[in-house]
Amino acid sequence: MCDKPCTRCPELDARLAGIAGGLHALAALINKELTEEQTMSRRELLDVTAVRIENLAANAMGRY
């Protein structure tokens, strides 16, 4: 870690927290679908995953 003090934009912090939460939720969904309770086909899971990743990328770029 760096010893220099730094400041970060509150908007960036909020965006990063939202992305981290979205990634955790996506990982949990994938894990549940693959190991616990399958509620959709693998094809549907890939489609849902792709949409969620696109949304997270848009969020990271500040489009939401």
CA distance 36 to 1: 38
pLDDT of residue 21: 95
Give pTM, 2 decimals: 0.78
CA distance 4 to 56: 30
Return the structure tokens found at 30: 């994938």
Examine the pLDDT at 2 and tell me if it is beyond 80: no
Examine the pLDDT at 1 and tell me if it is beyond 60: no
* Residues 23 and 56 sit within 8 Å (Cβ to Cβ): yes
